[in-house]
Structure 1
């Protein structure tokens, strides 16, 4: 069950990374996924974090962070691109549902980033609305190349940072919540082969939360 008090942003990140550690080790708990939990949630939801992730089928947040029903508010778009619907969903999660942590979740071998790299290299543009996605990712690719970064991991990290910055730049609500230390925003890069989520960037969290092997947050009752 979720704690009776709200987690801090740092505690929420610790819970996510500890769940990911269990997933990497092949020892997930699969918490809060039974009929009892399903019944408990009919009265409402109180997720502790919102995850803006890529729509890639290999990036299911509840699985890779070993969480259950009602614990994560998940928003997914190809390449975790940001538009009004995404901004509204994130603001709803922090303003109405009181999520204290916003996570931008990218991953290696991202098709949207690969398509943007191909477009920058001069290949024919993508058809239909896919082109819009590619155009939204292209600034990240150009920024990485301008900095002399050409590896896939560097491109992914740059795009994750760009998405985090875009959220804070376009959402005054979120920026004010971070400035007031009420909400934290982090960018994580997921490695498909290892199953591990790596911290790329953070805003509104103590530096100590960047530890690679966090311990469960003290004082919280987790499954």
Structure 2
């Protein structure tokens, strides 16, 4: 082998080594980042957050969802074992049963993170209220969000006063009608206004619960609303 050929071969070997070193370094960086995230998650799971911390977790998760940077925490098989004997969700979400509104996805959370209560029109029926009281009183979730969404079919049905023969659809239409009436004279789109009004009215219905009221007054629980935008994936807080 000539001297020039040897030099070219050595250069090629060094280049491959450097490339491998770069890839390895990047791999270590990614692994380190994942490790830090796992450690932070494990530490966070040991203590129930404050209401404000829980809200911040939802906001940050939704930002990741909107920006397509989801981490999808608590979705590995090991998580099944971690929560098999007990659950400690950090938030309760009362949302619509709409197939496009999935709290774990749009808040980028995983198994055992959220206590979901889903019903058409996100209305606070007695059964819904009982489920929420269970989450707040026994599981001690520090945050309760009533989540409405853009172009909600249940609210639209209430605006149009639609029903279906031999069905129970009237039950949620009747529950939402007072919210529709309250905003009929407001400027803007009636359905959009009614969606927000319905969230606000359901929050007021929930606050009639002595259990929820007591925990709210002792600052152990925060109750607020949200509106999910079907087009963008963004959740806007409603207070």
Regarding TM over 0.5, the answer is: yes
Asked whether the 8 Å contact 2:163–2:169 carries over to 1, the reply is no
Residue 79 in structure 1 maps to residue 121 in structure 2: yes
Match of 2:210 among 145, 163, 172: 172
Given the two structures, how large is their TM-score scaled by the length of structure 1? 0.84
User: Normalized per residue, which structure has more helix?
Assistant: 2
Asked whether the 8 Å contact 1:126–1:134 carries over to 2, the reply is no
What residue is the counterpart of 1:58 in the other structure?
100
For the residue of structure 1 that corresponds to 2:47, the secondary structure is coil
1:203-222 to structure 2, matched below 5 A, reads none
For the residue of structure 2 that corresponds to 1:43, the secondary structure is coil
Q: CA RMSD in A?
A: 1.3
Residue 117 in structure 1 maps to residue 117 in structure 2: no
Asked whether the 8 Å contact 2:159–2:191 carries over to 1, the reply is no
CA deviations on 1:63-99 (whole Å, 9 max, x unpaired) are 0000010000000000011111111111100100010
Asked whether the 8 Å contact 1:20–1:196 carries over to 2, the reply is yes
1:92-171 to structure 2, matched below 5 A, reads 92-119=134-161, 125-127=163-165, 128-147=167-186, 150-169=189-208, 171=209
Q: Distance in 1 between matches of 2:45 and 2:109?
A: 14
Q: Report the CA distance between 1:146 and its aligned residue.
A: 4.4
| Residues matched between the structures, number | 196
Asked whether the 8 Å contact 1:144–1:150 carries over to 2, the reply is no
Asked whether the 8 Å contact 2:183–2:190 carries over to 1, the reply is no
Q: Report the CA distance between 1:153 and its aligned residue.
A: 2.3
Given the two structures, how large is their TM-score scaled by the length of structure 2? 0.79
CA deviations on 1:136-184 (whole Å, 9 max, x unpaired) are 1111111111445644322211111011111102x11101111111100
Q: Which has the higher contact order (CA 8 A, sep 6+)?
A: 1
Residue 186 in structure 1 maps to residue 224 in structure 2: yes
Deviates more, 1:185-194 or 1:124-133: 124-133
Match of 2:84 among 42, 45, 54: 42
Asked whether the 8 Å contact 2:48–2:88 carries over to 1, the reply is no
